Structure 1
Amino acid sequence: MAANSSDQPISDQPVLEELDRAECLKLVAGGSVGRVAFDDGEGPTVIPVNYAVDGDTVIFRTSVTGRLNRSLMTAVVGGEVRAAFEVDRFDEADHAGWSVLVRGGAHPLSDEEKARVTPVDPWPGGDRDAWFRLTAMDVSGRRLHRP
């Protein structure tokens, strides 16, 4: 461990920093793969998705016949299903990186909404015609970095 001019030890350990909402949304906006967390009736489930950020919402697509679509569909017009979305980036060699969690309500997009939101290009082939918006009600994040 090194010392500074006042003979106080300087740690070379990474520092954990809490991120504000604006920084979190900026970090998430730069990515294309994240994970949606939800309860599928059998317990907590996490599924990776391609996504885009549209304002303070996350837009993602999935298969109409998939577990994610079945779990997030609601029969209530305008209703939302509680879900979370997480994105992170880490450098394991340097023990540095960041993680952001977005929690809120998810709802399927109407055809009119699909035409107005930021497009999402899913990596997997096949049917990905179920579009969802997750509105960011609670956003939190942390960054681990060298001092």
Structure 2
Amino acid sequence: MNTATGGGGGAVLEELDREECLRLITPGGVGRVAFNDGEGPAVIPVNYVVDDGTVVFRTDLSSRLSKALSTALAGAQVRIAFEVDRFDEARHEGWSVLLRGGARQLSEDESAAAAPVEPWPGGERGAHIRMIPAEISGRRVHH
């Protein structure tokens, strides 16, 4: 891990290695998916789990994300970015992890075998998406 001091009241900006990034996001929760929806960049929040070093989340089959992924050739991956962060605004501390890589919709058999994801919103979330990170980076600000 590399560190660099900043000018904000003694706060330190630290670059995180891959292992620390994965440790921080492994509990799951809410992250944001960035993708091209055909009209340009889009970012949406999703509930996710980490499953064997990959990120799994669910979305509605008719969502823009699901449609963007379904336009790819069968078995092909679409490049997306996925970000998770946690901040304590009162203490001016927190961390952010960014993953970039390929994503694809899982088959019914793959969905059944994947770690379960429980979306917060109601309604059908029939599309299970797996993102395989090619790049993982992160930063933490602390005192």
TM norm structure 2: 0.91
Compute the displacement of 1:118 (Å): 0.8
Does the alignment pair 1:106 with 2:77? Answer: no
Alignment of 1:20-99 (within 5 A): 20-99=17-96
CA–CA distance in structure 2, aligned partners of residues 59 and 75 of structure 1: 18
Once residues 40 and 10 of structure 2 are traced to their aligned partners in structure 1, the CA distance between those partners, rounded to angstroms, is 37
How many Å apart are 1:41 and its aligned residue? 1.3
**Which of 98-107 and 74-83 deviates more?**
74-83
Alpha-carbon displacement from aligned partner over 1:29-48 (angstroms, at most 9, x marks no partner): 12310000001111111000
Query: 1:75–1:82: structure 2 CA closer, same or farther, 3 Å change rule?
Result: closer
What secondary structure sits across from 2:32 in the alignment?
strand
| 8 Å contact from structure 2 (residues 72, 78) kept in 1 | no
Q: Does the 8 Å contact 1:74/1:81 carry over to 2?
A: no
Paired-residue identity, %: 61
Alpha-carbon offset, residue 74 of structure 1: 3.5
Structure 1 segments of 4 or more deviating over 2 A?
none
Mapped partners of 2:50, 2:81: distance in 1? 14
Give the C-alpha shift of residue 75 in structure 1.
4.2
Shift of 1:72: 1.8
Aligned equivalent of 2:130: 133
SS at match of 2:112: helix
Preserved CA contact (<8 Å) 1:74 1:80: no
Does the 8 Å CA contact 2:86/2:96 hold for their aligned counterparts? Answer: yes
Counterpart-to-counterpart distance in 1, 2:116 and 2:34: 21
Distance 2:67 2:106 in 1: 14
Q: Secondary structure at the match of 2:74?
A: coil
Q: TM-score, normalised to structure 1's length?
A: 0.89
1:55 is displaced (CA, Å) by 1.4
How far off is 1:62 after superposition?
0.3
Unaligned runs of 5+ in 1: 1-10
Is it true that 1:143 corresponds to 2:140 in the alignment? yes
SS of corresponding position for 1:42 = coil
**Which residue identity lines up with residue 70 of structure 2 in the other structure?**
M
Unaligned segments of structure 2, at least 5 residues: 1-7
